[in-house]
Structure 1
Amino acid sequence: MLKKVVLLALPGVAPFEFGVVCEVFGIDRSDSGGPLFDFTIATATPGPVRTSLGFDMMIEQDLSVAADADLIAVPAHAIESVDEAFLEVIRAAEARGAWVLSVCSGAFALAQAGILNGRRSTTHWMHADRLAAQFPGTTVDADVLYVEDRKVVTSAGTAAGIDAALHIVRKELGAAVTNVIARRMVVPPQRDGGQAQYIDFPIAENCSDSFAAVTDWMLGNLGEDLTIDQLARKALMSSRTFARRFRADMGTTPAAWLNRQRIIRAQHLLERTERSLESIAADTGFGAAAVMRHHFLKVLQTTPTAYRRAFGERVAS
């Protein structure tokens, strides 16, 4: 059972992600039916630890307190080489079957320790490509809030750490206990890890001049039924050459690129207008709200209605 939790304070630690772990595991909520964890903060050399915002935190405990922890938590930190002492703690926790949790760039410490090899993982979308490039032994999913793979839990940025931490509590202590913590924190008791991070994917800045004009035209005509043959004629190429060179330059197929731009446009309209789903679907080239819903579920793992509820502005009537 989850009782002892040790939070690692690494140099360059991010205060918010550090605070997320403290908030979930470091507060006594037994008066309202919640848990009381044996919670400790530890670092390699006790004393001041400089945060990413430039102030110091005084940490009194060394890493020896982590030897029997049920959970080792690693918050976001400076993405450089991590002290071997921290890596040994992480490896030992994984080897004895304890939970290991990272928040945001904390995944890099787990990867340096080697425990992400052969596992799925995630991190903040801004760091995902770097994590995948530096540590090819892990399969990085940049589109989700958190991933659990055999008691190693990695999460995306900021608030996704709350979701990941509550996921561990739910697995160990059940939904009722998790609801107590969530209610006190005023957060949803459960957001599925597969929910998308809601990332904008802007147009690739490094596309060649040969595609600049055609991609601009595509963006200006998202509502139209655009075919490869039509796009190829705009680019003054054969259809086969256009498809091959577009993929080489843009890193994806014309259809996939166009679909992503339609989703981005639909997100923008859902956030900033009160137009109907059918109107937005027609304007963005999906044709019908049901088709747009299908693509939102496939790419963002949410529906247009849920997306608008979460991110839409209140438009004055």
Structure 2
Amino acid sequence: MKRSELPDLAAFVAIADSLSFRAGAARLGITRSALSHAMQHLEKRLDVRLLHRSTRGVALTDTGRQLFESLQPAFAGIEQALSDLDRERGSPSGRLRLHVSSGAAAAVVAPVWRSFLATYPRVELDLELSDGPVNVAAEGFDAAIAIRDFAAADMVAVKVSAPWKVVVVAAPSYLARRGEPVTPDDLTAHDCVQYRLDGALLPWPFMREGTRRKIAVRGAVTVNSSELALRAAIDGLGLAFIDDAVAGPFLRSGQLMAVLPEWSPSFDGYYLIYCGRRQVPLPLRALIDMLRARRTTARCSTDPGMVLPGVLAKV
């Protein structure tokens, strides 16, 4: 085998492992067009079709499956050897690609990224912000940070934040003009920034003393990101339903005011979600350890009498 054939074979393994050009390109750090060109070059040189391509996705041919089953252990061994080498050097390196919800970005990532990058200067953080669910492996991410409901049964979920709430907020100018809702039912008479999650409009959930409610709100603005919902609320376009970590700075500055605080639903925290069937990349392991240490410190500071192990157990 010629040395020049290795990149094309690595491209094939990256696609075959996830059955996705997008995920394969993200894994290799190249564009999808470059990855497609490498596959075309490999198939032409081998004079055999390795992949079925269609508008619905990618599938392996019988020949492609046989080649992948032969190559995958070898490339996994190379990745493991390089990971072991990094571990011996004690210096995680490379790109760490994370899918992060808006609330998790504010509550989990922002408080540690300066320290993380200073501690591991050879790591590059690649963050994609989205509040919707994600298939971590298929879309080429190393991990996601979101609510635990987004973790599939075969994924590892590590708790990385304290419990948090969702709050209803509005600009003072809006409340002066329209009045303040007293109960969730009052929202039907207000302009609300509607939120579309995974293709469907999200009813606003509320909870008070064990009583749960869901209100289908209405309004002239519909968004699919917390940032846009926040901006709309600040601009006085209506009430918005926002993670308290995201809304916090604007509540403290007076740009927003919280309403219905006694009805705010609580969540048990954010989770770092990753595939347990693969070798955990060293940069991801370093981030997990830092987030666990931060949680330990935070819990000890709130309860000096607690005795905790140095590393929190997986939740």
Structure 1 length normalisation: TM-score? Answer: 0.25
Q: 1 or 2 for the larger relative contact order (CA 8 Å, sep ≥6)?
A: 2
